[in-house]
Every structure is written in structure tokens, then in C-alpha cells.
């Protein structure tokens, strides 16, 4: 035992400002009570302790901390009465501390070893700041006051978790410090303040802190006397397993690299050896055949030995399938000594400098879900006792691998649904129904065919956000890049004349000038363009490389020229601008998909052209169990208008970020009659049904570049919304919404009513066009557009 004064907070404790002192009186009262109650020989122990205290003159007084060493015999009796009789002193971390101050003055050697090591050999986690430590102490003090003086019990943990990284091992260590306040008395220095217990309970139950009590019950009103008993327990193993389970519960499984690191570090803490390495290899299957894992867990040696860098998919499938059929545990403290033929696979691990190795099959619900590899490098080793320390974590590891497998399978299903089918939540029920009918027919030995997925009488909504003059801009960018390449090439070839002036160089210069002249006169046909690209990418490159070999002094200039010829600055800038627009529009639609389904389920499909187009279908057949009303359709039509305003503002606001300035046009096609759609299995998409309904599809494909009748002006223009329709009645729902958006300043007051040119097989189309109020950074008042969204329905 030691009588040593130690600040266990490491100097992080803030002053509580309380009247507290060490006193043996509460413990003496405890001894008297136990002597009167105890019927066994234990009473002799308590009587001897009481006699020791009564023989001391200062045992009933406040004891200054600096004089505590004078009471070693009394302190030893306290230990004898309170410590577990079955536990040896060197196995228990037990001690006494100042009442509600983080100062320990007496305890076992193990206690001071743990606390001293925790203070001097570990770096504490940053999250445990002095304010957090102060809050915990405040909570402990006030819960004690409420219980003793107000008979109000607050469920508060008396144990505090401390964690840190051991500087010697680099591993996390966790300790639980339990504080027993049974031998502390508290008295009020004056009249006990009244408190509203109901209000306090409500405050604490709603997650409020104890800080509210600092005003209701200032700590200077109370006097604390006695001693606190503390015990310190190393809970590193329990916390290591808990950390692994937290990763599992997060449902991110092993997808994130940070999760891998956390799991591996927890396993190292469990075996208390940073030199032991761990690897996790999930057993993934596609069509019940093993496939490579997508993540390298730990050091990645299992991935190196069993992964795609060494095994072909077929060989991996064969080996993993054989192992899954007969999964065996393997352990060797030194794989360099293993020479049995069945251990030939160890050669691959030897090449990676592995010394000790264990391969542990991991099962979940009796199914193999993966392999955990445990190993050391070079001269470091471990034995089977180390593996026994991993037993508490095996269940958590198996669940972790199972979650990873489930997440992998969900990702596969998600890709299939998003990339290969048009199955969305709004129509999923119809596919489920068809699948069930198919399975039912199979079970009943009836003719089994997949029924047609068909939705009758749904209202279509179509919108298109197009990048203005994208084809023209793309041609301009290509011409600009070709001209830039030719100018640079001409300058480089001209500079090479000082080194050599042969006929080949003159020919290259001549061809370069010819192509420059053709570009200037805009006389390039598609075949000419291909020839020019071949000249720049093949002939010129090969010649320049040959020249650099002949004349090394030209290498630096030629390399700079070749590097420039390899890039298309203007085309790349255009593509970057177009991607910025389409990504922004797509992100907007993705953010709106959930809100669209709230009023009434609908089918929403977007697809990319030079911009973004979308189809929406809504109607009773989409959601038979939910009554459909025309107001649901009006709600969606208002969303169409307000979303076009928002998108125009978003894309307009991107102008400052675009390498090449591009504008967007906004088009809505109004079709007021319901149509029928069915799922086409061959194209994995929904399409219209019936001859009349096909006209709707035909109009959609032909209106993107339609002109105003008797003019050369395109209907769609930047900063405007155009609505195309066949009959005036078709737009009756839209007109009040347009007026509303005009009155709120989102749309400009002028509205054009236009007749459109006849298209192939189509005539009589009309349009409404209205301008959008825009500023430099987007819509004039985005709040008003949001208000329009809020008004839907």
C-alpha cells in the first residue's frame, strides 16, 4: 500500500469552489453500525478498526491533506474493512481520495501504477476536454446533494471511463474509475433552499445539464466531509469489443477505410500487442459463386495472396469454393518451419515476410462469412494463448462481416435497379405482385409467365432542360483546339529550322500551313477533320520525337509542344461546363425525388441528352390504395413550373464557375389527357401504349428545336420557360400558377402566346413563353420560388 498524494486529473480539473475536507467521521459511523448488525467473526475486524480510530486524537477532526501520512494505520484498517477478502492486494486497484476532488492519497500499488502510467505514459483523447471533465464532476456532486438532502435520486453513473494511447505500444487502453461516496457527509450551512422537483426532473429528463443547479443550489451553501473510495478497472478488452460492435451497428460495415482501421486497432488492443497484424477477408458471392472482396482489410496480405493481383477470377472461384466447402483453422508460430505438402500455400505468405500466421474461418449462423488473418512480420511471433484473447471479439467480427456481405448484396441490387431497370418505389408493388403470381403458379404447377407490368390512365408530365447551342459550342471548341495545336506546331517547326533544314521539315511546315488555311476558311468536312487529327496525333508526334532524338537540345521544347498537343483545352473546358450544369440539375432532381412522393406516389424518370430530360407519370393506377384527385396533378404541375425557375437560377448562378459560359433553356410539354404505359422488358423501361398515346411520344421527340411560326426564332430561349400544348384547355391548370409566380416577382410580367411551325406529321401546336426574373447569382428571389413550392397542393 502507498500513502502518496496524486492529482488523478493530470492537472485538468477546474475549481469547483466547494467546502470539503478529509474526515474519518462518516467511516467511524459506518463501523459502529456494522458492529451492531454483524453476527459473524467480521465484527472483530470492525471492532479492531474502531478501536484504532478512537485511539487517535485527530480521527474526529478535519484532516489536512499534508498530514494524511500520520494516519497510515487507520487507512490500512479502512482498506481491510472495505476491500474484497478473496482478492490479493497486488490484483486490485483500490484507493481513497479527497471528497469530490480528483486527489488520491492512499491506495494499492496497482492503483498508483495504473494512474501513474495513465498520466505519464499515455496521450489522452482530444475529445475529453477540461470542460467535459468539469461537467462530469458537477453531475456527481449535485446528484449526491439531491439524493442526501432532497431524497431525489438522479440516475447518474458513478464510474468514469478514461482512455488514452499508450506511448510504448501505440494502442488504446481503457480504464473505468468508480467513485464510492458512501463515506461522505453533506450538510447545508444555512436553511436548505427549496427546489421545484417536478421542474428539475423535467429539465433533466429532456437532456438538460446540471448547470441549472448552480443558480438554484450554489455549491458554497454546502459542506462536505469524509473520504471517497475509488477502484480502477482495466476494461480495454470490453471496450475493444464494444468498438467493433459500434462499427457493425453503423451499417457502413467495412466499406470505409476508417472503419477498417478502427476494427484493426481494437483487435490489437484486445491482444495488447501492436506488432500483431490483422486482416479481414469477407466471403462475397455473386450467383452463389465466390468473388473478390472490394476492400483491403488491415495490411491486405489476404487480399495479396487471394486477390486479383495473383489469382484469376476462375482460380479464385475454385480455391475459395474449395475452402468454403471445408473451412479449416490454421496456426503456426513460425511458418518458415512448416514443410508439409498441404502447407504449400504458405510460400506466398513467406514471400511477404510473414512469421507467425493464423487463418481463422469466421461463421455467422453456421455459414462461412469470411476469414480473419492474424500474423506478424519478420522476427516477431505470437502463440496460441494470444489467439485465445480474441475469443470475445469473434461474435462481433462475424456480425461485422455479415453486415458487409449484406451491404454488398444491397449495392448489387441497387445497381441493377438504377442501371438496368425502371423499378422505383412508387411502382415496386406492381413488380412484387407480378413476381408473387409467377412463383405461385410455379408452386401450383400451373403455366408460369411473367405478367405485363401495365398502368392505365396516368397523366404524363414532360420537362427538358437543354444546354443552349451545345452542338455549335462543341464545334467551336474543336476548331479552337485544332487552331491552337496547329499554331503551336507551326511555331515549334519554325524554331527547329536552326538545327536542320531538310525537305521533310519543309513538308511538315507546308502541311501545317495548309491545314491552318483550311481552318481559317472553315472548309473542313468530317473526313478532312479526321485527316487533320491524324496529322496532329500521329504524323507530327512521330516526327517531333524523331527530331528530339537527332538533336537532344530540342527535347525540352519538343516535349512542351507534345504535351500541349495531347490536350484539348477548349473542348475540355466545354465538357467541364456541361458536366457542371448536368450535375447541378441532376443533384436538384435527386434532392426533390423524396418530396415529389409525399403528396402522391408518382413515377419519375430522368435521362441525359445534351442536358437533362424527365418523364413523370401520376394517376390512380400507380397507387390503387390511395385516392387520386385532380389536385394531386395540379400540385405536380406547380412543381414543374417552380422547379424550372429554380433550375434556371441554379444554372445561371454557375456562369462564374464555368470555363466556357453556357446557358440553359427550359421546356415543358403539356398533355392533358391520360395515357397508358407498360414496362418493356427488352428495353428495361416504361413506354406508352396504343396508337393515340404514341402521338404523345412523337411530339416529345420533335419539339426540342421547334421554331415560332413565320420566323427563324427558336421557341426555347435562355432565361425563359416555354410551355407547348395542342389545345388551350390543356394549360388551364398552369395559367393561375404563372400569374401567381408573376405576382410574387419570380416570373416576369410579360407572357407571350405563340403559334409554332408545323412539324413532320404534327400541326397546330401552340406555346406560352414567359421570362424568369434573374440576377447575377441566380433567381431574383429564391425565397419566393421556395414559397411557390410550399404552395403546391
Provide the pairing of β-strand 103-107 with 94-97. antiparallel
Choice between 88 and 703, residue whose per-residue pLDDT is larger: 703
The mean per-residue pLDDT over the stretch 51-73 comes to 85
Q: Report d(CA 653, CA 780) in Å as an integer.
A: 11
- What's CA 494's distance to the chain center, in Å? 55
- Crossing angle of helices 257-271/391-415, nearest 10°? 170
pLDDT tier at 368, thresholds 50, 70, 90:
very high
Cell 416576369 found at? 748
Query: Per-residue DSSP letters for 31-46?
Result: HHHHHHH--STHHHHH
Cell 424527365 found at? 614
Nearest to 264 by CA among 373, 139, 350: 373
Non-local (6+) Cβ contacts of 104 within 8 A are: 4, 5, 6, 8, 95, 96, 97, 98, 111, 112, 115, 230
pLDDT at 156 over 80: no
**475 - beta bridge partners?**
none
pLDDT at 750 over 90: yes
Instruction: Specify which of 248-262, 484-498, 680-694 reaches the highest per-range mean pLDDT.
Output: 484-498
Nearest to 663 by CA among 707, 717, 703, 614: 717
The mean per-residue pLDDT over the stretch 352-374 comes to 93
Kindly state the helix (H) or strand (E) to which residue 368 belongs, with its residue range. Answer: strand 367-377
Q: Which three cell numbers stand for residue 389?
A: 484473447
pLDDT at 440 over 80: no
Nearest to 635 by CA among 669, 597, 603: 597
Nearest to 279 by CA among 294, 299, 309: 299
> For position 789, what pLDDT does the model report?
46
556-565 in b/e form (b: 16+ CB < 10 A) is: eebeebbeeb
Q: Which three cell numbers stand for residue 530?
A: 479526321
Give the least confident one: 130-139, 283-292, 706-715, 726-735. 130-139
Q: Helices marked H in 163-293 — which ranges?
A: 197-205, 213-216, 236-249, 257-271
CA angle centred on 705, ends 701 and 711, rounded to 5°: 135
Instruction: Specify which of 4-13, 68-77, 434-443, 526-535 reaches the highest per-range mean pLDDT.
Output: 68-77
Cell 500521329 found at? 538
136-172 in b/e form (b: 16+ CB < 10 A) is: bbbbbbbbbbbeebeeeeeeeeeebebbbbbeebebb
pLDDT at 29 over 50: yes
CA angle centred on 299, ends 295 and 305, rounded to 5°: 75
Kindly state the helix (H) or strand (E) to which residue 669 belongs, with its residue range. Answer: strand 664-670
Provide the pairing of β-strand 222-226 with 19-22. parallel
pLDDT at 354 over 80: yes
Whole-model pTM: value is 0.51
Give the least confident one: 112-116, 252-256, 377-381, 517-521. 252-256
Q: Report d(CA 562, CA 686) in Å as an integer.
A: 49
**177 - beta bridge partners?**
160, 232
Average pLDDT, the chain: 84
Please write the tens of the pLDDT for every residue from 663-710.
999 999 999 889 988 887 666 667 777 666 777 888 888 898 899 999
> For position 255, what pLDDT does the model report?
53
Non-local (6+) Cβ contacts of 241 within 8 A are: 266, 270, 392, 393, 396
DSSP-derived letter for residue 235 is -
- Crossing angle of helices 72-82/25-37, nearest 10°? 40
pLDDT at 581 over 90: yes
Choice between 616 and 235, residue whose per-residue pLDDT is larger: 616
- Going along the chain from its start, the domains and CATH numbers come out as 6-234 (no CATH), 238-414 (3.30.450.40), 470-567 (no CATH), 573-790 (no CATH)
pLDDT at 97 over 90: yes
CB atoms within 10 A of CB 345: 12
Choice between 613 and 432, residue whose per-residue pLDDT is larger: 613
The mean per-residue pLDDT over the stretch 491-504 comes to 89
> For position 683, what pLDDT does the model report?
61
DSSP-derived letter for residue 14 is P
Helices (H) and strands (E) in the chain, counts: 25, 27
Whole-angstrom distance between the N-terminal and C-terminal Cα of the chain?
77
Amino acid at each position: 500500500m502507498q500513502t502518496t498524494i496524486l492529482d488523478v486529473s493530470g492537472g485538468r480539473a477546474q475549481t469547483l469552489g466547494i467546502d470539503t475536507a478529509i474526515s474519518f467521521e462518516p467511516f467511524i459511523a459506518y463501523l459502529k453500525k456494522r458492529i451492531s448488525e454483524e453476527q459473524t467473526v467480521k465484527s472483530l475486524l470492525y471492532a479492531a478498526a474502531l478501536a484504532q480510530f478512537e485511539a487517535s486524537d485527530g480521527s474526529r477532526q478535519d484532516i489536512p491533506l499534508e498530514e494524511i501520512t500520520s494516519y497510515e494505520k487507520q487507512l490500512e484498517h479502512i482498506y481491510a474493512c472495505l476491500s474484497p477478502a478473496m482478492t490479493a492486494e497486488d490484483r486490485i486497484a483500490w484507493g481513497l481520495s479527497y471528497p469530490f476532488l480528483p486527489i488520491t492519497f492512499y491506495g494499492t500499488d496497482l492503483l498508483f501504477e495504473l494512474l501513474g502510467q495513465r498520466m505519464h505514459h499515455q496521450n489522452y483523447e482530444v475529445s475529453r476536454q477540461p470542460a467535459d471533465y468539469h461537467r462530469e464532476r458537477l453531475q456527481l456532486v449535485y446528484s449526491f446533494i439531491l439524493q442526501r438532502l432532497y431524497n431525489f435520486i438522479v440516475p447518474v453513473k458513478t464510474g468514469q471511463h478514461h482512455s488514452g494511447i499508450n506511448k510504448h505500444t501505440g494502442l488504446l487502453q481503457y480504464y473505468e474509475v468508480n467513485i464510492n461516496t458512501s463515506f461522505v457527509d453533506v450538510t447545508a450551512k444555512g436553511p436548505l433552499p427549496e427546489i421545484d422537483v417536478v421542474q428539475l426532473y423535467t429539465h433533466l429528463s429532456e437532456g438538460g445539464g446540471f448547470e441549472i443547479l448552480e443558480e438554484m443550489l450554489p455549491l458554497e451553501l454546502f459542506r462536505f466531509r469524509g473520504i471517497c473510495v475509488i477502484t480502477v478497472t482495466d476494461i480495454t478488452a470490453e471496450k475493444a469489443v464494444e468498438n467493433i460492435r459500434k462499427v457493425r451497428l453503423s451499417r457502413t460495415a467495412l466499406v470505409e477505410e476508417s472503419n477498417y482501421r478502427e476494427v484493426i486497432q481494437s483487435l490489437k488492443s484486445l491482444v495488447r500487442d501492436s506488432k500483431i497484424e490483422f486482416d479481414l477477408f469477407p466471403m462475397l458471392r455473386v450467383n452463389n459463386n465466390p468473388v473478390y472482396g472490394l476492400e483491403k482489410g488491415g495490411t491486405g496480405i489476404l487480399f495479396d495472396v487471394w486477390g486479383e493481383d495473383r489469382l484469376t477470377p476462375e482460380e479464385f472461384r475454385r480455391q475459395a469454393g474449395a475452402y468454403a466447402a471445408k473451412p479449416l483453422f490454421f496456426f503456426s508460430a513460425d511458418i518458415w518451419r512448416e514443410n508439409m505438402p498441404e502447407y504449400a500455400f504458405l510460400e506466398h505468405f513467406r514471400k511477404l515476410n510473414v512469421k507467425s500466421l493464423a487463418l481463422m474461418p469466421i461463421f455467422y449462423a453456421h455459414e462461412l462469412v469470411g476469414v480473419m488473418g492474424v500474423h506478424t512480420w519478420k522476427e516477431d511471433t505470437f502463440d496460441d494463448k494470444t489467439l485465445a484473447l480474441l475469443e470475445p471479439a469473434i461474435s462481433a467480427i462475424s456480425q461485422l462481416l455479415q453486415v458487409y456481405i449484406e451491404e454488398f448484396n444491397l449495392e448489387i441490387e441497387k445497381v441493377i435497379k438504377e442501371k438496368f431497370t425502371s423499378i422505383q418505389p412508387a411502382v415496386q408493388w406492381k413488380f412484387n405482385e407480378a413476381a408473387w403470381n409467377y412463383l405461385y403458379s410455379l408452386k401450383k404447377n400451373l403455366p408460369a409467365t411473367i405478367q405485363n407490368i401495365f398502368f392505365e390512365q396516368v397523366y404524363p408530365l414532360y420537362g427538358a432542360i437543354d444546354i443552349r447551342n451545345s452542338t455549335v459550342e462543341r464545334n467551336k471548341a474543336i476548331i479552337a483546339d485544332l487552331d491552337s495545336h496547329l499554331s503551336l506546331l507551326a511555331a515549334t517547326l519554325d524554331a527547329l529550322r536552326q538545327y536542320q533544314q531538310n525537305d521533310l521539315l519543309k513538308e511538315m511546315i507546308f502541311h501545317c500551313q495548309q491545314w491552318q488555311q483550311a481552318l481559317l476558311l472553315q472548309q473542313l468536312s468530317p473526313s478532312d477533320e479526321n485527316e487533320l487529327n491524324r496529322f496532329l496525333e500521329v504524323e507530327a508526334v512521330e516526327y517531333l520525337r524523331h527530331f528530339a532524338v537527332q538533336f537532344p537540345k530540342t527535347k525540352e521544347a519538343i516535349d512542351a509542344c507534345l504535351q500541349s498537343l495531347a490536350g484539348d483545352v477548349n473542348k475540355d473546358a466545354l465538357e467541364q461546363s456541361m458536366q457542371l450544369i448536368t450535375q447541378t440539375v441532376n443533384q436538384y432532381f435527386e434532392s426533390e425525388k423524396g418530396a415529389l412522393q409525399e403528396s402522391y406516389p408518382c413515377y419519375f424518370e430522368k435521362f441525359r441528352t445534351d442536358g437533362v430530360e424527365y418523364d413523370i407519370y401520376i394517376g390512380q393506377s400507380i397507387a390503387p390504395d390511395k385516392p387520386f384527385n385532380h389536385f394531386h396533378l395540379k400540385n405536380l404541375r406547380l412543381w414543374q413550373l417552380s422547379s424550372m425557375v429554380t433550375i434556371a437560377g441554379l444554372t445561371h448562378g454557375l456562369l462564374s464557375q464555368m470555363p466556357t459560359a453556357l446557358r440553359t433553356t427550359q421546356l415543358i410539354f403539356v398533355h392533358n389527357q391520360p395515357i397508358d404505359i407498360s414496362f418493356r422488358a427488352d428495353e428495361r423501361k416504361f413506354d406508352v401504349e396504343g396508337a393515340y398515346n404514341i402521338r404523345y411520344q412523337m411530339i416529345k421527340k420533335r419539339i426540342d428545336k421547334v421554331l415560332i411560326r413565320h420566323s427563324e426564332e427558336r421557341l426555347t430561349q435562355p432565361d425563359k420557360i416555354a410551355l407547348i400544348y395542342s389545345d388551350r384547355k390543356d394549360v388551364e391548370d398552369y395559367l393561375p400558377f404563372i400569374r401567381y409566380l408573376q405576382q410574387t416577382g419570380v416570373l416576369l410580367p410579360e407572357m407571350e402566346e405563340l403559334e409554332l411551325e408545323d412539324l413532320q406529321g404534327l400541326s397546330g401546336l401552340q406555346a406560352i413563353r414567359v421570362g424568369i426574373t434573374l440576377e447575377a447569382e441566380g433567381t431574383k428571389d429564391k425565397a419566393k420560388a421556395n414559397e411557390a413550392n410550399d404552395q403546391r397542393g
